[in-house]
């Protein structure tokens, strides 16, 4: 593993680790949104339904920009999440913009939301899979 890979994984680990198990933090985010259907609704309300749909589908994942995530979640929820993990919103948003599409993609491998409220164990497995996949997966769509 190269130095860049190691640094990026540590940064992502801090986003999904700082004081909480990564799956607990992600579970909290999903629960606050109302599970995957609630998260989908947030993206729809922000005009980003096509991006979210691409993450669920079996095709390539569309990218999402940090400001688009902030529009979908709201600045308050992003600030609260950043505080929980011990980093600032300016660091959190770019990492989430790279990480969230892969998580949603792996939670919906058959192209449908068949489990609207994934378990903590399932979330931990998905996070581990994404992190093991290295940066090629983070920056290159489906892995």
Q: Which SS3 state, helix, strand or coil, does residue 68 take?
A: helix
Q: Which two tokens stand for residue 22?
A: 């990564």
Q: What is the mean pLDDT of residues 83-99?
A: 83
128 neighbors 120 (Cβ within 8 angstroms): no
What is the band of 40 on the pLDDT scale with cuts at 50, 70, 90? Answer: very high
The CATH code that applies to domain 3-135 is: 1.10.10.690
Tell me how far apart the alpha carbons of residues 118 and 58 are, in angstroms, rounded to a whole number: 19
DSSP category for residue 109: T
Q: What is the pLDDT of residues 113-134, one digit of tens each?
A: 989 999 888 888 888 788 776 5
Residues 6+ apart with CB under 8 A from 6: none
Domain extents in the chain:
3-135
């Amino acid at each position: 593993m190269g130095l860049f890979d190691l640094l990026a994984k540590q940064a992502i680990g801090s986003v999904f680790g700082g004081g909480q198990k990564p799956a607990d933090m992600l579970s909290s985010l999903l629960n606050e949104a109302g599970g995957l259907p609630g998260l989908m609704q947030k993206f729809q309300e922000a005009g980003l339904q096509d991006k979210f749909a691409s993450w669920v589908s079996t095709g390539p994942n569309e990218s999402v920009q940090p400001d688009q995530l902030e529009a979908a979640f709201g600045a308050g929820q992003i600030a609260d999440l950043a505080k929980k993990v011990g980093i600032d919103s300016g660091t959190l948003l770019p990492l989430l913009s790279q990480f969230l599409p892969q998580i949603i993609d792996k939670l919906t491998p058959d192209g449908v939301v068949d489990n609207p409220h994934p378990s903590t164990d399932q979330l931990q497995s998905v996070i581990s899979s994404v992190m093991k996949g290295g940066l090629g997966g983070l920056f290159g769509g489906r892995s």
